[in-house]
Amino acid sequence: MSFFLKVVERFVNICRSFWSAIMIDTGGNEVQTDVVKSFEEMPGPKPLPFIGNLWRYFPVVGSYSFERLHRTYQKFYEEFGPIVREKVFGERTLVHVFHPDDMMRVYKADGHMPKRLSHRALEKYRRERPHLYSGPGLFPTNGEEWYNFRQLFQNLLMMNESVEACSNALEDITDEMVDKISVELDENREIDLTPLLFNWALEYLLACGWLNRQTDNPGMNLILNFTRIYILDATFMFIYLLVIALFHVMNRIKICFELGQLKLFSEVVSKYLDEVIEDIEQGKNTDSLVAQMLKIEDASKKDVFTMILDMFMAGIDTTAFTLSFALYNLAKNKTVQQKLREEMNELLPTKNDRFTGAPLRKYKYLKYVVKETLRVNPVAIGTGRILQEDLVLSNYCVPAQTMVILQHQAASLQEQFFPNPLQFDPDRWRRHQVTNLVSCPFGYGHRMCVGMKFAYRELYLALSKMVRNFDISYHYEDIDSINRLINVPDKPLRLRLQQITE
d(CA 163, CA 181): 26
Give the SS3 label for residue 88: strand
Backbone angles phi, psi at 12, to 5 degrees: -60, -45
CA dihedral angle for residue 330, residue 336, residue 340, residue 343, rounded to 10 degrees: 170
Q: Residue 41 pairs with which residues in a beta bridge?
A: none
Residue at 85: amino acid letter: R
Provide the strand spans (E) within 365-485: 383-386, 391-393, 396-398, 403-406, 470-473, 481-484
Distance from C-alpha of 98 to C-alpha of 243, rounded to nearest angstrom: 25
Query: CA 487, CA 258: separation in Å to the nearest integer?
Result: 26
Rounded CA-CA distance 40/489 in Å is 37
Q: How far is CA 445 from CA 372, 377, 409, 410, in A?
A: 21, 21, 18, 21
Using DSSP, how many helices (H) and how many strands (E) does the chain show? 18, 13
Report the length, in residues, of the chain.
Answer: 502
The DSSP element (H or E) to which 89 belongs, if any, is strand 83-89
135-139 LR contacts (CB < 8 Å, sep 24+): 135/306, 137/306, 137/307, 137/309, 137/310, 138/307, 138/310, 138/450, 139/310, 139/313, 139/314
Q: How far apart (Å, rounded) are the C-alpha atoms in residues 233 and 442?
A: 20
Between CA 435 and CA 450 the distance in angstroms is 21
Question: Does 166 belong to an annotated binding site?
Answer: no
Burial class (CB in 10 A: 0-12, 13-18, 19+), 113: middle
Q: Is the CB of residue 407 less than 8 Å from the CB of residue 385?
A: no
DSSP string, 138-156: TTT--HHHHHHHHHHHHHH
Identity at 190, one-letter amino acid code = E
Neighbouring residues of 75: CB distance < 8 A, sequence distance ≥ 6: 63, 64
Binding site per annotation, positions: 449
Binding site per annotation, positions for heme: 449
